[in-house]
Amino acid sequence: MNQALGAAVRIIITGGTFDKQYDELRGELTFRSSHLPQILERVRLTVPVELEINRLVDSLDMDERDRARIAESCERSVQERIVITHGTDTMCETARVIGRLNLSRVVVLTGAMVPYAFAGSDAVFNLGCAVAAVQTLPLGVYIAMNGRIFEWHNVQKNPTRGVFETLG
């Protein structure tokens, strides 16, 4: 999947519900590895990508150091178009950290309300929206969820409805 530097889309993997799996022995959702390679093969993505596992963690367990590490990955990236898979609970906070950097990049964060491994997951749909968005949007930081694109400074998660929406 490697192409010329700068031409590929970098996908930074941070975990979140997107990559959770059910651990039958402990009876809980955990992380083993990322589903992204399997998903990209399944959907027959022809866009060249570079995968980077930043850390597999629930976004509720992220702290400012984790957000700084994600932002540093964006700054270091030779690719100008970046998709970040992220937990939905604190995705907006991470988008704000990256948005304040004013990078010369297009960064699109996305996630899932239902893990990829579960029936009815929105993971593939949201990832597809993010990959399409990162190729067409102007420089900036965005969130792609629920079939919509939001600017980093004008988005919130509505936990009651389980969707993302503009502020206000």
In a domain, 4, yes or no: no
What total of structural domains would you count in the chain? 1
**Rg, the chain, Cα only:** 15
Confirm whether 13 is domain-assigned.
Answer: yes
From first to last of its 168 residues, what are the pLDDT tens digits of the chain?
334 445 699 999 998 777 766 566 666 656 566 878 888 888 899 899 999 988 887 777 889 999 999 999 999 999 999 999 999 999 999 999 999 999 999 999 999 988 777 778 899 999 999 999 999 999 999 999 999 999 999 999 999 998 999 997
In a domain, 110, yes or no: yes
Residue 92 lies in a domain: yes
Q: The domain containing residue 54 runs over which residues?
A: 9-165
DSSP tally for the chain: helices H, then strands E: 4, 10
Q: Report if residue 22 sits inside a domain.
A: yes
Which of 20, 38, 18, 37 has its CA nearest to residue 29? 20
Instruction: Return the H-helix or E-strand segment holding 79.
Output: none
Reported pTM: 0.88
- List, in order, residues 6 or more apart from 115 with CB less than 8 Å away: 17, 18, 19, 20, 21, 22, 29, 121, 123
Residue 3 lies in a domain: no
pLDDT at 133: 97
Q: Is residue 1 included in any domain, yes or no? A: no
pLDDT at 16: 79
Residue 74 maps to which CATH number?
Answer: 3.40.50.1170
Would 44 be classed as within a structural domain? Answer: yes
Query: Is 119 buried (19+), middle (13-18) or exposed (0-12) by CB count in 10 A?
Result: exposed
Tokens matching residue 78:
């030779």
Residue recorded with tokens 């702290």: 63
